[in-house]
Structure 1
Amino acid sequence: MDDATRWIELDGAVNARDLGGLPTTDGRTTRRGRVLRSDNLQDLSVADVRLLLDDYALKNVIDLRSDAEVRLEGPGPLTRVPSVTVHQLSLFAERGRHTDVAADTPDAVDVDKALPWQERPNDSPEQDRSLGLYLGYLADRGDSIVAALRVMTRTDGSSLVHCAAGKDRTGVVCALALDVAGITREAIVADYAQTGERLEDVLRRLRTSDTYAADLDSRPADSHRPHAALMDKFLTRIDEEFGGTTGWLSGHGWTPDDTDALTTRLLA
């Protein structure tokens, strides 16, 4: 890992970084090697897997992709590592043809609906569409978000959260976890926006997959960029509507003990 930037250099993923080293509002920092974030893990090399196991003691993978994405992409190398548990926690409302039942028949999977962002309307500004997408995660899959944050509290090694690009779904879940732990708003927003440094590499990777290529090419590259203002607006909406992240989480079964466990796990 590059200590200056928190990037984790891997052969098979381009948007991997450690959530350690971020400042809290009371002067502490997040611990290194506790929670990692990344883009799709399908292409990890043998050396990548070894690095994650040896240098980061990886034990839990939080996979936020939809059921259809997982089926279309197939199992990644970490699913074959006995010491690693993969938690599939889709942030997509798996309804109708998106359900496990439909996915049982490969021909029944609607590729055009494999990705959450496919359902965004096209008649509003880009940030408003993205904000609606992020709020949709909260409305549709509070269960997955709570479960993902609880995985992060586990003490048996590091956790790695990812989706396809490691930007939207991963960005939202990581932002919520950091907010619970008391990380400054500026640091949360900056971490979200940091994906922009690797955006071209992320898009280049995803374009090699039939699952993602058509959607990516249907929109300008800049429409995928993680703008800091969007994450700030998203967290502000949570503050205004739910009294903050813990207020929203409490409505989905999150407890003060969960907050204590996550804070203890993440903070030095």
Structure 2
Amino acid sequence: MIQFLFVFLALELSSFTTLRNFRPIITPNVFRSAALDELSQTEAQILYDSLRSGLILDLRNQDEMEKSQSKATEGSQWFYDELQVSHTLTRIHLPILQSVDEFWDVTISYMPLWTRVTATAQTIVQAGALDRAAARYLESQGLFGLYRSMLESGGPAFNQGLHICLQSKGPVLVHCQKGKDRTGLLSMMLQHCAGATREEIIEAYSLSEQLLGPDRQQIRAGNSNNDYIDWNLFRGSPAQAMIDTLDWMDCRYGSIDGYLDSIGFNAEHREAWKNKCARYRSR
């Protein structure tokens, strides 16, 4: 308990300026942020010392990690080097988009039937016609469409991420590239299971836009396998995107709990997470 409180205070008081979109999710020892590739040496040391007995959960695809780390600051490179030899701080790579093809299959399945049939027929004479049509459709759906496809195709990964947080004995830092989309969805589930209201979930999601700033919100959903899409259209974290996502989960699965049941994070797991959070808050 003392260790967890120390971690909370150390991270809270450090006032990070080179770790973007950083904050607790809901419990004092589970945090969220953008990627760790801009750390100063000082903040890299603080982060490493604070998480020393815990783990880092990286939700990015491998190609994103490699590209991002190739441009890492000296502080971040030191941090990654320390991770390689650490016996106490663990890094878990859990790509939410484990199957990018499945992500696009889900997206295509939501396209209007006539659009899908027409684009499929066009592939006979025009290579990539279906891919282009899927890209235009996803762009038209905005962040809600992106999240819907992530939730439908990434269920096993989200379930694994939830269990990792539940079973953790030390602090956890969850991140993707910008810490607003994949991290935002996992955070939403963790908040819900801990008893947060919809208003609290939406407010926490919306905060990413403020913390990232207008020049740091471009996202790229892993190795997209679709060169036709403009990922710049998915900037920001407007409240309406999370509102629409939660409403869709209600319609599609009956509730957030219904979605969690469908991916394997059942009522027993949710109660265990809620109790774990309550214990930390009461001490």
Query: Taking structure 1 as reference, are residues 14 and 205 closer, same or farther at Cα in structure 2, changes over 3 Å only?
Result: farther
Q: 1:248 aligns with which of 247, 259, 268?
A: 259
TM normalised by structure 2 equals: 0.67
Equivalent residue, structure 2, for 1:19: 25
Aligned counterpart, 1:25: none
Q: Compared with structure 1, are the counterparts of its residues 154 and 95 closer, same or farther at alpha carbon in structure 2 (3 Å cutoff)? A: same
Q: Deviations over 1:31-74 (max 9, x none)?
A: 32x21000011233343233234446661111111122123234
1:172 counterpart letter in structure 2: L
Mapped contact 1:64–1:161 kept (Cα < 8 A): yes
Q: Which residue of 2 aligns with 1:109?
A: none
Task: Give the conservation status (yes or no) of the 8 Å contact 1:12–1:43.
Answer: yes
How far apart are 1:11 and its partner, in Å?
4.4
Q: Deviations over 1:67-94 (max 9, x none)?
A: 2212323486243343221121112143
1:169 equivalent in alignment to 2:182? yes
Q: Which residue of 2 aligns with 1:45?
A: 40
Could you say which residue in structure 1 is the equivalent of 2:94? 89
Q: Deviation at 1:120?
A: 6.8
**CA, structure 1 residues 8+18, in 2 after alignment: closer, same or farther (shift >3 Å)?**
farther
- SS of the aligned residue for 1:86 comes to strand
Query: Quick one: which of 10, 16, 21 aligns to 1:10?
Result: 16
2:96–2:157: 8 Å Cα contact kept in structure 1?
yes
| SS across alignment from 2:263 | coil
Structure (1 or 2) with the greater helix fraction: 2
Letter in 2 for 1:266: C
Distance 1:57 1:119 in 2: 47
Q: Does 1:196 align with 2:209?
A: yes
For the residue of structure 2 that corresponds to 1:121, the secondary structure is helix
Deviation at 1:257, TM superposition (A): 2.8
Counterpart in the other structure of 2:125: none
Aligned residue type for 1:133? L
Distance (whole Å) between structure 2 residues aligned to residue 74 and residue 170 of structure 1: 19
Alignment map for 1:54-203 (pairs within 5 Å): 54-55=49-50, 59-74=54-69, 77-78=79-80, 79-80=83-84, 81-95=86-100, 121-122=135-136, 128-200=141-213, 203=216
The CA deviation at 1:95 is 4.8
2:268 equivalent in structure 1 = 257
1:87 partner SS: strand
Say which SS state the counterpart of residue 153 (structure 1) adopts.
Answer: helix
Secondary structure (helix, strand or coil) at the match of 2:216 reads helix
The runs of 5 or more residues in structure 2 that have no matched partner are 1-6, 71-76, 104-131
Q: 1:201 to 1:67 in 2, by over 3 A?
A: same
What is the root-mean-square deviation in Å for CA atoms of aligned residues? 3.6
Name the SS for the 1:161 alignment partner.
Answer: strand
Compute the displacement of 1:250 (Å): 1.6
Q: Percent identical across equivalent pairs?
A: 23
**Residue in structure 2 matched with residue 229 of structure 1 by the alignment:** 240
**2:209 counterpart letter in structure 1:** G
* Change in CA separation of 1:124 and 1:65 when aligned onto 2, cut-off 3 Å: closer
Q: 1:217-264 deviations in whole A, cap 9, x for unaligned? A: x676x8511001110110111122112222112222223331122112
Deviation, structure 1 residue 170: 0.8
**Any idea what the Cα deviations from partners look like across 1:135-173, whole Å, max 9, x if unmatched?**
111221111101111111134211111111111111111
User: Would the aligned equivalents of 1:239 and 1:245 in 2 still touch at CA under 8 Å?
Assistant: yes
